[in-house]
Amino acid sequence: MDQDSNSGLNGTPSRHESTRSEATHQENAWPSLHSIALIGNHLPRQCGIATFTTHLLEAIEHNIPERDIWAIAMNDHPEGYDYPPAVRFEIDQDTLSEYSLAADLLNLNQVDVVCLQHEYGIFGGRSGSFIIELLRHLNMPVVTTLHTILRDPSTQERRILVQLADLSDRLVVMSERSVEFLHYIYRVPEEKIVLIPHGIPDSPFVPSDTYKKRFGVAGKDVILTFGLLSPGKGIEAVIDALPKVVERHPNVIYMIVGATHPHLKAHQGEDYRIGLQLRAKTLGVADHVLFHDRFVSEDDLIEFIGAADIYITPYPNEAQIVSGTLAYALGAGKAVISTPYWYAQELLADDRGRLIPFGDSQALTATILELLDDADERHAIEKKAYEYGRRMVWPEVGRRYLDTFAEAIERPLRREVPRHRLETVGRRQQRLPEIKLDHLYRMTDDTGILQHSRFTVPDRTHGYCVDDNARALIVADMLQDLRPNDTYLGKLRAIYLGFLSHAFDPHSGRFRNFMSYERRWLEEYGSEDSQGRALWALGVASSFERHLGDAIVAAELFHRALHTVEQLRAPRAMAFAIIGIHAYLKRHQDDDATRKVLETLSQRLQQLFEKNSQDDWPWCEDVVTYDNARLPQALLLSGRLLPDEHMQETGLRALKWLKELQTDETHGHFTAIGNDGWLTRDGGHARFAQQPLEAAAMIDACIEAYNCTHQSEWIDFVYRSFNWYLGDNDLGLSLYDSVTGGCRDGLEARGVNENEGAESTLSWLMSLLALYNFRSRGREAQSGDGAAQSAEAST
């Protein structure tokens, strides 16, 4: 080990780095480590995290070859990959139950330490929240490597990283800037943070001519950029700089090595690569740009980098906390030119490379020419880079990780550790069913979602309606938030949004509701409820940023229909519209006119409660019918946003009353007000014909009550309402169909209604997704800590 191996990236000692002596780096130096499991992507999956995880595992094995080192691999599609034996378990990133199974496997195998590779996009759930479910149930030390640390995280992204910090004994980062971010932005204690550089292959320092012949560029001056191809890496800037470089050095070749990123290719094909090729052709340098469109092996990568005279990382902004490609190039002793993103500033300090301003093609051209013109200067940079990179070779990095693992065992710093090896099941710890969409797909055709089914068979007799397609659009948006790479969900969203668009009458601003299977509208305009539900769905869709075109269409429809809320008299229609306006305002906070509409409509709903309520009947009507909890939910949302304390109190009082009415006095389970007579002011109370939409409404409303009060009783009732679907009800029968993923239509006196219509299935999915979203809030969802994001459950 060289004398600088425990220094920071700038060559100065770092108190965050492991400081064990050389003598400890022997096979018997880590007696507490017998079994180590890594969690992350793994080769042959094609991405940087997979490469990192694979090489880290190999580096650990290199240092302690007789120990049990293995991996759990994340899959981005159900078929998985042809993994080597070191991968003993696979997790489908979008299947929550597999995270829990992985936790059980790790606990049962009594693994000494788990090393998690964290990148938001490789785990399922909102911003990768599913991994929190796994970590929460591990009873061994956890060391988490953070591959992305955002300076300006969203509320959810910050929430996830803070939970990772709570659930980890150590956080490994790869740059000094990462240390600063964790401490000052995320408030992570310094004692938890360990700086270990990005690992690199231990490649020899040889002239670039050694490798050029293999790639057909012998005698050329080679400039190289490597990595999975996608926008935002600044390759355009290098192509723009080439014309003047070629004038002076006509033998220059710019090699762009790497396959198109799989997710980009799935959505856009090769459009980006073709655009780069056309750019080079337009500038007259097409013959000087060489694309190697493939995912390269480790050996090939070393040779590609070895063939380069200059390596360029031209990222267009500073928000790059680590770069494996830059680390590899520096470690191979290459003259690197880079924009001054955070990681490059550290790694290329002290003349180990050249930094140029962002977006400055002239500076890039001048720097390339300087290094091509002055071989001595280029070689001096190469030597400094190679010498510095010796501290970053994988065997050394593996030793640093082993030190960190041992320290985590000796001095655990995790905030929460389960008391039992296997999960204890309570309402808040219960495992949620998987999100299964078979029946949703079955009920949806190219027109929209059908209203009814006979058992599990779609019933075309009754056609379609706006009510159900609005619900379906909300569900599709919630699903896409959890599964951003699922292209089929985008198709569903387009179908449901298209149905609402076709239902809209531009002259009246109203939506027609019922359509026959033959695609004939059956009415001039629909009910007030369907109008309100359409506005709700459009408000949700307009705030969905991943599909900008869909969001624009939804926002346009939303505004064209918004004036009709002045005509609404039905309290549920008002409530649906209010919920939709709240969803819209999440993205369009500066829309003062829409906020004013929200305020007026909320006050009208509040006045209905004030006019009709009495001490023993805190309700806005003389009968309590369907979708009841949506009314207090709307008041709670507006009471918190406007703010209006009286409105919030009205909503809480009404919801508490509903909660008491819908709790079985003997067994304490949820019992929805039945639609066979409803609940009337004169004492009538229908016990059966209980419908799934009542449980869905209660779940969303109780989550919003929790957002307002942080009182755990509301979350207890969330789970009580949810478990109604699963058999914790008056008849002890499950309404959820685990085979189809659908939901039966209701609870009757003689049993369940076996039909699985759209309303019931969508109510189930909305309920399940609300819990998924709430659970993604992590420790707050378990203990009641912290502030909540507005209207998360329903938007």
* Confidence at residue 781, expressed as pLDDT on a 0 to 100 scale: 53
Q: What is the DSSP letter of 208?
A: T
Query: Beta strands 68-75 and 35-40: pairing type?
Result: parallel
Query: Nearest 5°: phi and psi at 146?
Result: -100, 115
CA 767 to CA 764: how far, in whole Å?
Answer: 5
What contacts 656, CB < 8 A, 6 or more positions away?
none
CA 295 to CA 304: how far, in whole Å?
Answer: 12
CA atoms within 13 Å, Cβ hemisphere of 33: 31
Closest alpha carbon to 558 in 518, 615, 598: 598
Rounded to a whole number of angstroms, the distance between the first and last alpha carbons of the chain is 54
CB atoms within 10 A of CB 417: 14
- Burial class from Cβ neighbours inside 10 Å (0-12, 13-18, 19+) for residue 236 reads middle
* Confidence at residue 88, expressed as pLDDT on a 0 to 100 scale: 97
Query: Nearest 5°: phi and psi at 296?
Result: -95, 150
What contacts 723, CB < 8 A, 6 or more positions away?
427, 669, 670
CA 613 to CA 360: how far, in whole Å?
Answer: 68
170 beta partners: 143
CA 37 to CA 116: how far, in whole Å?
Answer: 8
Element (H, E) at 193: strand 193-195
Query: Beta strands 170-173 and 193-195: pairing type?
Result: parallel
CA 157 to CA 151: how far, in whole Å?
Answer: 11
- Integer angstrom CA distances of residue 97 from 256, 333, 364: 40, 46, 50
User: What is the rounded (10 degree) CA torsion for 212, 213, 219, 224?
Assistant: -30
Query: Residue 505 corresponds to which tokens in the numbers above?
Result: 């009458």
3-state secondary structure of 651: helix
Q: Which residues of the chain have pLDDT under 70?
A: 1-28, 416-429, 545, 778-795
- Alpha-helical segments (H) within 619-757: 630-641, 645-661, 692-709, 712-725
What is the value of pTM for the model shown?
Answer: 0.79
Closest alpha carbon to 145 in 432, 424, 401: 401
Query: Residue 479 corresponds to which tokens in the numbers above?
Result: 């699903």
* Confidence at residue 780, expressed as pLDDT on a 0 to 100 scale: 52
Q: What is the DSSP letter of 424?
A: P
Inter-axis angle of helices 630-641 and 645-661, nearest 10: 160
- Integer angstrom CA distances of residue 91 from 71, 258, 781: 11, 26, 24
- Integer angstrom CA distances of residue 622 from 577, 611, 636, 791: 22, 11, 21, 28
- Burial class from Cβ neighbours inside 10 Å (0-12, 13-18, 19+) for residue 777 reads buried
